[in-house]
Structure 1
Amino acid sequence: MTFQNNPLLIQLKKKMILKYPKIEGIVKSTKKNFGFLETNVNKIFFIPPKYMKNVMHGDRIQGYIKIEKNREIIYPEKLVVPFLTKFIGSIQKKNNFLFIQSHYPYVRNLILCNSKDIKKHVCEHGDWVMAELTEHPLQKKNRFYAIILKFIVKKINPLAPWYVILARHNLKKSSPNVHITHDFNLYHNEKNRTDLTHLNFITIDNQYTKDIDDAIFIKEITEKKFLLMVAIADPTEFVYKNTKLDKIAKKRSFTHYLPGFNIPMLPRKLSEDICSLKPFLTRPSIVCSVVINIDGSISTKKINFFLAWIQSKSKLTYENVSNWLEKKGTWIPENDYIKKQIILLKKIYDIRHLWRNKFAFIFPDKPEFRFHFSESWEVLNVSLESRRIAHRMIEEAMIAVNICAATFLSKKLGFGLYNIHSGFDIFNAINVCKFLKEYQIEYHPQEIMTLEGFCKLRRHIKEISNNYINYRLYRFQNFGEISLTPRPHYALGFPVYATWTSPIRKYSDLINHRLIKSIIKGEKNIIKPTESIINNIILQKRRTRLANRDLEDWLYIRFLRSYNHKKKIFQANIIDILRNGIRARLIQNGAFIFIPSFYIHNIQKELVFYPDIGMVYIRNKIYYRVSDIIMVYIVTIKFETKKIIACIA
């Protein structure tokens, strides 16, 4: 009989355990071998190295409290919820055994692993795989053990960061594998479509855009009225409801745009060829025509949607059009027809922009950064991409026809996929008014809970140009949502709003396309979309956002490690105040940095952080607040946690 299996000792151990108080919490690891247990009652208990071997960061466990060397420690007894189930990790080879190191930075355990389908010699040290934790030391067997489920990418593959991040967030890494042929009867609805191929539609996109989904034609009716026609590519002509292709698009919900890389919602043959509004090729489309008055208002009684054939007469780029309007460079429109369309589009932009500034609200642009890659996918540079006049012209036209779509769907059906924003709830409206009073700005909660009052407040704050006040208001606002029924979009300042201009790239727009098309064709008993569709769209949008964030963090680490940043001073914009430091963004390249408290002020007791109000006090005086521009230098770059640590210069 072994020592471990001695029934008398086991019984004695159980009796001893009953004497100690039990507690439940979540394990937190440290850089060293010890850890802590954080409980629901905000108490923290020490876990010695000998016990940390049996748990990992993030595990929810039960244990009992022991006293050792006059200190309370936790003895882990039972696993409640493991932190790892399915996870991504890199292969580590030791003594002919395979181990996996989790991609989660604070999980430092090397996990013994194996695979039924992948042979050992196929996996090299550093290769990336997906695995499932099947054994835990607090369960039946006294070890961590995982089964490899899927091989992801070789370590030496330059696209490894992209594939790892996509796998981690359960996103596809390639376009749908559906065979597309011209067996689609492209002309089966020809009689139902108006032939507009004689009109001078133009497209304006980035230089390398292939999935072109909108084209514009404008006619000056009188000196005080313009006819705006926006033609949107019609993938519903090929993607029928409940088909295999539709189910794939529904599941993906979006074309995912990552730095240097995109994964289409639809097969590239459709999105970049058959449906794309390429120049001089006849394409099926849904057209919205609307009259824009000289004061910038939309004639809601003159909104019309119809099916059409269109032919783009020119593929223009944002850069060329902007340069021409700003009298830069050598590019000129190829003929007077194209020139006239650009000039008319600029006129519509001017009057619509003025109208929105006066009656709605226009948010200031957020900085956008572009990664520049070598042929081997190394980051060469990161540049700030300014949105120029051509971007704004197209955006203004798309916003106008999105308002038209929302109005059309509301009137004809009373349902669709609407983008909504409810401004402030009553609790936050009261707090907003209290906060504004500190700056001698007087508003009543009931006033700013109306669409008109909300827009008035936002325009007021924009005029006084106080970034800190703007930040605080933003923190009080509700989040944007998607609704099946029409409701206001406070943040944009519209009574109703629904997007439909990117059906090649967004499933929500594809749904609105189908609804609009059903109305045009006079169909009866049109089926309302379900909440499950909205839930999936929200899920996929969140996954895409997180994937972008994680990949950019990885790429910034790569870039700055190869970049001579030592002794270089950067400007940074404070974006958040935490309990133990400042989060900021480098203005030059957009990298996110963290400034811990000890790199802000060397006397810690004089330093106080107020995350709720976005301020840092030193010796009872405000020293830093959100929206401030500060000077920093980089201290260290942590690849494992993808964090850039900086110090105030």
Structure 2
Amino acid sequence: MFQDNPLLQQLKAQIKETLPTVEGQVKATERGFGFLETDKGDSHFIPPAYMKKVVHGDRVSAVLRTEKEKTVAEPDELLEVGLNRFIARVKFVKERLNVVPDHPLMREPMRAKCKGLKGSELSNGDYVVAQLVKHPLRPDEPHFQVEITELVAAHNDPHVPWWVVLAKHDLAKAEPADPQGWQTPEDNQRQDLTQLPFVTIDAESTKDMDDALYVESREQGGWWLHVAIADPTAYVEAGDEVDLEARKRGFTQYLPGFNVPMLPRQLADELCSLVEGQQRYAVVARIPVATDGSAGEADFSLATIASHAKLAYDKVSDRLEGLADAWQPQDPVIADQIDLLHQLALARIAWREQHALVFPDRPDYRFEVDEQGNVVTIHVEPRRIANRIVEETMILANSAAAVLLAERVGGGVFNVHAGLDSERVDAARQMLADNGLEFDGDRLQTLAGYCELRRALDAQPDGYLDARLRRMQAFSEMAATPGAHFGMGLQGYATWTSPIRKYGDMVNHRLLKAVIEGRQAESLPDAALIEHLTAMRKLHRLCERDVGDWLFARYLASKAGTDEVFVGEIIDINRGGVRLRLQENGAVVFLPAPLLTDDKSRLTLAGDQGLAQFDGEQVFRLSQILEVVIHEVRVANRNIVVAPRHKLA
């Protein structure tokens, strides 16, 4: 009765007009309340009752009022919805269809209706695609309501992690349509290099082999390195159906135990793949490399090649590392190729250590997944010498392509990295000085100065300063114009060595072909393409991480509450706790502050400095190693919570 009283409503409106308002974004918490974070950095408490009108991520205007002697924000007007198309789980409430968004901070069921499928076909826990159609902060919409448009996976589907992550980002989960009837086009202008003993070095299971190597000694010392790259643009014309789909996808999507090709599998795994004993079209770079590892000007050509051996990383590494009973090639020519490639790679590593930058040796973690989607085990794979051989030759080939494209074309798809964020150079210089490393701010913004900095950090006794500085770096980007790559210490870097897997490499192939054939390039990549490829690269990495987090949670769920000890490296410190990466399997886990000590008032977590103090004394910092046990695993939220093996006193 009182709600419908117009005088009361008028009085409420008059009172609201006298109260201050703020705009900001809603941040939910697991405990039901939330905060309104303003653009100025202010934070206002939103009680649980008011949070029922909004969802995490909503941008709203809110009224600030005092309740129980505390200032709170009451969301009043929706400025931008934080939830649009999203993944949710079905939940029947009193036999009525509802969904709960698949988000760790969203737990409230929302009323739902179906579009294009029947509610009777759904069960509790099924994953669906949903669209928000009603929001309680909109006029005449008293509650949330969503529309279910697609079933993603049944609750008992073992492949839920893969299907949900791909659906979340609206990415394809199958290979592109294959037009069939592919024919190798006639090309009499290509050099016949089929007699040269090219070899491929990949994982045992690799099918889409896109690079092959051949090396020969030079009379004056050093080597001629031949890098042959598969040539899908011999089959795929710019602008045709397959090309447009490849452009849309941007990359082959690699997920644990599963991949979604950028090109039809008949092209990627068969016609273009550099299969042993099969003639294949290739773009070839012939690069002179001196005994000190320095490289001269590369010569690019179109050729027909044939791989003479499919080699595996582990077998080649076993042989070169001198392991007992290691695999040995039966063909002495192949053995000679392996040895020459090894010599060349060592020279290049030494050259890059002095004149550029070399990546730190960190292991890769590979999930072994069975057909039912279960994680059998997680393999820790260090970067061994065979991996380094391929890495060094690809870096050399891509930097050579950058030089040619910059000088002869003036554009292409380049990977660029500016080093330190220009707005954080002064903060970086001060942080370094506080820790005994003096650098001039202007020099830090040069390639040579940045390389000096990275070498100084590599010489530190631990990774603390390196971890802090990484937060001050610019992001690696893609660009249509040449630029330096500070992160690699190179003047330029333009990838063309993975055209089966990367659309930008296909673009660079077409530009390289124009130079080889002495003609004008038909078109250069524009800003729209670069923006799209950048977004897709980021999205694909996010998908790989999201599936990995889910599988880590599944894998470690049985360890929760046990005494099994894991070793973790601290990768982040914030006011809520500590984030670590487990060395045994690569999982990223969270150690909440309340689990570190029974008296949180004695604990200070300084995220800006990457330090933790207890009673004013430093107890740990970024890059430090901690022993932890698995405290709790929430598989549905992909959260792994750990506790320290020994609490702070």
Q: Answer whether TM exceeds 0.5 for this pair.
A: yes
Query: What residue number does 1:263 align with?
Result: 260
Deviations 1:148-178 (A, max 9, x none): 1222122222111101011112221111123
Instruction: Note if contact 2:413-2:507 (Cα within 8 Å) is conserved in structure 1.
Output: yes
Query: What residue number does 1:240 align with?
Result: 237
Residue 120 of structure 1 aligns to which amino acid in structure 2? G
Query: What residue number does 1:441 align with?
Result: 437
Instruction: Note if contact 1:236-1:510 (Cα within 8 Å) is conserved in structure 2.
Output: yes
Query: What residue number does 1:196 align with?
Result: 193
Distance 1:158 1:54 in 2: 35
Query: What residue number does 1:293 align with?
Result: 290
2:213 to 208, 211, 216: 216
Does 1:117 find its partner at 2:116? yes
Does 1:152 find its partner at 2:152? yes
Secondary structure at the counterpart of residue 176 of structure 2? coil
Distance 1:31 1:423 in 2: 37
Query: What residue number does 2:78 align with?
Result: 79
TM (norm. structure 2) is 0.94
Distance 2:485 2:75 in 1: 51
Secondary structure at the counterpart of residue 247 of structure 2? helix
TM (norm. structure 1) is 0.94
In structure 2, do the counterparts of structure 1 residues 493 and 635 end up closer, same or farther at CA, with 3 Å as the change threshold? same
Segment drifting more, 408-417 vs 212-221: 408-417
Instruction: Note if contact 1:426-1:445 (Cα within 8 Å) is conserved in structure 2.
Output: no
Secondary structure at the counterpart of residue 17 of structure 2? helix
Q: CA deviation at 1:448?
A: 3.0
1:95-494, aligned counterparts within 5 Å? Answer: 95-139=94-138, 140-182=140-182, 184=183, 186-189=184-187, 191-222=188-219, 224-300=221-297, 303-328=298-323, 329-424=325-420, 428-494=424-490
In structure 2, do the counterparts of structure 1 residues 350 and 565 end up closer, same or farther at CA, with 3 Å as the change threshold? farther
Distance 1:435 1:515 in 2: 43
Instruction: Note if contact 1:270-1:276 (Cα within 8 Å) is conserved in structure 2.
Output: yes
1:529-608, aligned counterparts within 5 Å? Answer: 529-563=525-559, 566-608=562-604
Distance 1:359 1:30 in 2: 49
Deviations 1:29-50 (A, max 9, x none): 4444554444455555554444
Q: CA deviation at 1:410?
A: 1.8
Distance 2:540 2:273 in 1: 23
In structure 2, do the counterparts of structure 1 residues 29 and 525 end up closer, same or farther at CA, with 3 Å as the change threshold? closer
In structure 2, do the counterparts of structure 1 residues 472 and 65 end up closer, same or farther at CA, with 3 Å as the change threshold? closer
Deviations 1:249-295 (A, max 9, x none): 11111111111111111111110011101011111110101111112
Distance 1:223 1:217 in 2: 18
Instruction: Note if contact 1:572-1:587 (Cα within 8 Å) is conserved in structure 2.
Output: yes
Distance 2:13 2:422 in 1: 55
Residue 312 of structure 1 aligns to which amino acid in structure 2? S
Deviations 1:408-466 (A, max 9, x none): 11221121122222223565444444333344433323333322232233223323443
Residue 332 of structure 1 aligns to which amino acid in structure 2? Q
Secondary structure at the counterpart of residue 218 of structure 2? strand
Residue 643 of structure 1 aligns to which amino acid in structure 2? N
Q: CA deviation at 1:543?
A: 0.8
In structure 2, do the counterparts of structure 1 residues 150 and 525 end up closer, same or farther at CA, with 3 Å as the change threshold? same
Distance 1:238 1:617 in 2: 61
In structure 2, do the counterparts of structure 1 residues 220 and 82 end up closer, same or farther at CA, with 3 Å as the change threshold? same
In structure 2, do the counterparts of structure 1 residues 423 and 27 end up closer, same or farther at CA, with 3 Å as the change threshold? closer
Calculate percent identity across the aligned residue pairs. Answer: 37
Instruction: Note if contact 1:172-1:263 (Cα within 8 Å) is conserved in structure 2.
Output: yes
Q: CA deviation at 1:572?
A: 0.8
Q: CA RMSD in A?
A: 2.2
Q: CA deviation at 1:387?
A: 1.3
Instruction: Note if contact 1:425-1:449 (Cα within 8 Å) is conserved in structure 2.
Output: no
Structure 1 unpaired stretches of 5+: none
Instruction: Note if contact 2:560-2:631 (Cα within 8 Å) is conserved in structure 1.
Output: no
Segment drifting more, 574-583 vs 173-182: 173-182
Secondary structure at the counterpart of residue 398 of structure 1? helix
Deviations 1:6-60 (A, max 9, x none): 5444334433433444344444444445544444555555544444333333333
Secondary structure at the counterpart of residue 327 of structure 1? coil
Distance 1:260 1:589 in 2: 16
Segment drifting more, 539-548 vs 629-638: 629-638
Segment drifting more, 501-510 vs 478-487: 478-487
Instruction: Note if contact 1:180-1:270 (Cα within 8 Å) is conserved in structure 2.
Output: no
Instruction: Note if contact 1:232-1:285 (Cα within 8 Å) is conserved in structure 2.
Output: yes
Distance 1:576 1:219 in 2: 47
Secondary structure at the counterpart of residue 539 of structure 1? helix
Instruction: Note if contact 2:462-2:623 (Cα within 8 Å) is conserved in structure 1.
Output: no
Structure 2 unpaired stretches of 5+: none
Instruction: Note if contact 2:30-2:104 (Cα within 8 Å) is conserved in structure 1.
Output: no
Distance 1:26 1:325 in 2: 56
Distance 2:431 2:416 in 1: 25
Distance 2:49 2:424 in 1: 48
Distance 2:608 2:52 in 1: 37
Deviations 1:501-535 (A, max 9, x none): 00000111111111001111122254221011110
In structure 2, do the counterparts of structure 1 residues 120 and 297 end up closer, same or farther at CA, with 3 Å as the change threshold? same
Q: CA deviation at 1:619?
A: 2.2
Distance 1:241 1:406 in 2: 21
Distance 2:100 2:291 in 1: 63
Distance 1:22 1:619 in 2: 40
Instruction: Note if contact 2:185-2:234 (Cα within 8 Å) is conserved in structure 1.
Output: no
Instruction: Note if contact 2:24-2:39 (Cα within 8 Å) is conserved in structure 1.
Output: yes
Q: CA deviation at 1:631?
A: 1.4
